[in-house]
């Protein structure tokens, strides 16, 4: 591993398979290094859970991780295809010392990634990741033959997670009489999500539930919910839902085929929890959450705070405030009394519980949430540069904010993964927000060396 490059990013490591760092030798080294740290902290034969999504490269990376961990003296529990939140849950339920997710979430099949959970299914502490990264720089040396780890396949992993999800749905409610289109993105939810909903009484129309290793997220799932929405209308279903490849996100469509994003899911989940007396405190969104969500929650007496973009920032603000519910417009919603990370299936059940409790259709249930039009523009830069240090951009932002007053917002930020500036302008008038966003974009292009016209 090059000392000039950091292995772990803000949420594990991700990239194109075959390119550094998603190569068999690096993943083998990662498994061994993680195993060495675990054996040092937990004695002989700690246990690590490994789960994956449906990418063809999952076989390769799973084998490399298993070899590295076993070589360090760690026993491995193999879950097979399993949503990321299911891996977090089973890390806790199986009392494992760590969990590993092999997934690139909503990316195409060519990419893959590794994310680590600590005991209890929570994110691995930064200091442990740092220790693993230091260990990766050491020569790989296997444990003595008598101390090598074993691997065991957990055949009932899917059934365990299905039961967990069902237990988050109120026992006094049912989904009987409901027809739901379920788009599994040819990903990790393809076995479990339809089964959960059927066992709770729903009639399920499956979509994108035939993974072949290459079709994950391919024009389906939460990033491409249009097909799911069309299927809802064609089938005359009550609503539909689309998960992403690893199952930690979900977005919806109502009976008319209109999309309800993560802000809508978060709104309904908050109402459901509030009415049951389960909402302790307020709700955390991000700077990209729609102003309409903030206003709708305020009308229900629910406080709302904004974190930076990214689930780790949402989780941190929830922890700091001792709150339990938060999420992002992408459909990544977390309820910390139900799971330790975002869980698409559990989020869907929270939304469905609100509909079942009120007897409302999804269209009616979200009527109290009025979205403000948002325009988003991404500018790729010729080199990475901090937008907050450019006076001309700051002046352009101030001008737009002055025009919008309290009836809109401006967010201009650097991408966390690319040399890009992302611009979002939100206001009452869609055409004007587009003009204002493009005005800021012109200043960014002129002052920051854009790589594109």
Chain segment 389-443, per-residue pLDDT in tens: 999 999 999 999 999 998 999 999 998 778 899 999 999 999 999 999 999 999 9
DSSP 324-383: -EEE-TTS-EEETTT-SS--HHHHHHHHHHHHHHHT--HHHHTTT--PPPEEEEEEEBSS
Q: At the top level of CATH, which class does the domain 374-448 belong to? A: alpha beta
- Reading the block at residue 212, the tokens are 């072949």
> What integer pLDDT is reported at residue 10 of this predicted model?
66
pTM of the shown model: 0.92
DSSP 139-183: PP-PPPGGG---EEE-TTHHHHHHHHHHHTS-TT---TT-EEEEE
> What integer pLDDT is reported at residue 451 of this predicted model?
82
Owner of token pair 């009489």: 177
Pinpoint the alpha helices (H) of 143-210.
157-167, 192-199
The answer, yes or no, to whether residue 238 has pLDDT greater than 90, is yes
pLDDT tens for each residue of 108-151: 999 999 999 999 998 888 889 999 999 999 999 999 999 999 99
| Close Cβ partners of 20 (under 8 Å, ≥ 6 residues apart) | 2, 5, 26
The answer, yes or no, to whether residue 186 has pLDDT greater than 50, is yes
Whether the CB-CB separation of 268 and 351 falls below 8 Å is answered with yes
Q: How far from the centroid of its chain's Cα atoms is residue 361's Cα?
A: 26
Helix (H) or strand (E) holding 263: helix 262-275
Where along the chain do its domains lie?
13-155, 160-365, 374-448
Helix (H) or strand (E) holding 327: strand 325-327
> What integer pLDDT is reported at residue 5 of this predicted model?
46
Comparing CA positions, the residue from 56, 31, 69, 310 lying closest to residue 21 is 31
Strands 111-117 and 13-16: antiparallel
Q: What is the CATH number of domain 13-155?
A: 3.40.120.10
pLDDT: which is higher, 225 or 311: 225
Give the residue-averaged pLDDT of 248-265. 98
Is it true that 13-155 and 160-365 share their CATH fold? yes
pLDDT-based confidence at residue 77 (cuts at 50, 70, 90)? very high
What single DSSP character describes residue 222? T
pLDDT tens for each residue of 195-216: 999 999 999 999 999 999 999 9
The answer for 59, left when phi > 0, alpha when psi is -120 to 50, beta otherwise, is alpha
Whether the CB-CB separation of 189 and 344 falls below 8 Å is answered with yes
Q: What is the CATH number of domain 160-365?
A: 3.40.120.10
The answer, yes or no, to whether residue 312 has pLDDT greater than 90, is no
Mapped onto helix, strand or coil, the DSSP state of residue 29 is helix
pLDDT-based confidence at residue 11 (cuts at 50, 70, 90)? confident
> What integer pLDDT is reported at residue 324 of this predicted model?
97
Whether the CB-CB separation of 310 and 294 falls below 8 Å is answered with no
> What integer pLDDT is reported at residue 3 of this predicted model?
39
CA 70 to CA 76: how far, in whole Å? 7
Strands 98-102 and 203-207: unpaired
Phi, psi of 351 (to 5 degrees): -65, -45
CA 189 to CA 49: how far, in whole Å? 18
The answer, yes or no, to whether residue 1 has pLDDT greater than 60, is no
pLDDT tens for each residue of 15-45: 999 999 999 999 999 999 999 999 987 777 8
- Reading the block at residue 356, the tokens are 């079942």
Strands 409-414 and 420-426: antiparallel
> What integer pLDDT is reported at residue 170 of this predicted model?
96
> What integer pLDDT is reported at residue 384 of this predicted model?
87
DSSP 214-277: S-TTSS-STT-THHHHHHHHHHT-SEEEEE-TTSS-EEEE-TTS-EE-HHHHHHHHHHHHHHTT
Question: Please, what is the average pLDDT of the chain?
Answer: 95
| Close Cβ partners of 261 (under 8 Å, ≥ 6 residues apart) | 251, 252, 329, 330, 331
The answer, yes or no, to whether residue 9 has pLDDT greater than 70, is yes
pLDDT-based confidence at residue 452 (cuts at 50, 70, 90)? low
Comparing CA positions, the residue from 85, 92, 84 lying closest to residue 14 is 84
Tell me whether the omega of the peptide bond preceding residue 304 falls within 30 degrees of 0, making it cis: no
Which one from 57, 70, 103, 105 is the annotated catalytic residue? Answer: 105
Active site residue 103: no
Q: How far from the centroid of its chain's Cα atoms is residue 21's Cα?
A: 21
Total count of residues recorded for the chain: 453
Whether the CB-CB separation of 86 and 57 falls below 8 Å is answered with no
């Amino acid at each position: 591993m090059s000392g000039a490059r950091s292995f772990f990013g803000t949420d594990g490591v991700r990239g194109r398979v075959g390119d550094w760092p998603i190569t068999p030798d690096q993943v083998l080294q990662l498994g061994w290094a993680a195993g060495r740290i675990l054996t040092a902290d937990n004695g002989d034969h700690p246990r690590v859970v490994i789960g994956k999504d449906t990418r063809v490269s999952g076989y390769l990376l799973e084998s490399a991780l298993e070899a590295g961990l076993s070589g360090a003296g760690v026993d491995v529990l193999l879950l097979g295809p399993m949503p990321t939140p299911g891996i977090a849950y089973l890390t806790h339920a199986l009392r494992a010392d760590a969990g590993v997710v092999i997934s690139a979430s909503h990316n195409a099949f060519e990419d893959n990634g590794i994310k680590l959970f600590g005991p209890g299914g929570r994110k691995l502490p930064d200091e442990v990741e740092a220790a693993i990264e230091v260990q990766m720089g050491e020569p790989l040396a296997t444990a003595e033959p008598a101390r090598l780890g074993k691997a065991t396949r957990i055949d009932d992993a899917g059934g365990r997670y299905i039961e967990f999800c069902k237990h988050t749905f109120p026992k006094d409610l049912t989904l009987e009489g409901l027809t739901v289109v379920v788009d599994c993105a040819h990903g990790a939810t393809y076995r479990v999500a339809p089964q959960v909903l059927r066992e709770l009484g729903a009639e399920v129309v499956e979509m994108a539930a035939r993974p072949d290793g290459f079709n994950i997220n391919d024009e389906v799932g939460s990033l491409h919910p249009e097909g799911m929405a069309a299927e809802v209308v064609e089938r005359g279903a009550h609503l539909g839902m689309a998960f992403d490849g690893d199952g930690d996100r979900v977005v919806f469509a109502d009976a008319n085929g209109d999309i309800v994003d993560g802000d809508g899911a978060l709104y309904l989940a908050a109402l459901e929890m509030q009415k049951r007396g389960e909402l302790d405190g307020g709700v955390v969104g991000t700077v990209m959450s729609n102003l309409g969500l903030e206003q709708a929650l305020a009308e229900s007496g629910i406080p709302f705070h904004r974190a930076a973009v990214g689930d780790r920032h949402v989780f941190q603000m929830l922890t700091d405030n001792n709150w339990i519910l938060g999420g992002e417009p992408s459909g990544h919603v977390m309820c910390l009394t139900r799971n330790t990370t975002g869980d698409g299936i559990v989020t869907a059940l929270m939304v469905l519980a609100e509909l079942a409790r009120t007897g409302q259709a999804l269209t009616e249930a979200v009527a109290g949430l009025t979205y403000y039009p948002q325009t988003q523009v991404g500018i790729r830069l010729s080199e990475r540069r901090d937008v907050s240090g450019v006076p001309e951009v700051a002046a352009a932002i101030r001008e737009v904010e002055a025009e919008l007053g309290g009836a809109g917002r401006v967010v201009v930020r650097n991408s966390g993964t690319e040399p890009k500036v992302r611009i979002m302008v939100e206001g009452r008038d869609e055409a004007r927000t587009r003009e204002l966003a493009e005005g800021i974009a012109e200043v960014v292009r002129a002052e920051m060396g854009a790589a594109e016209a």
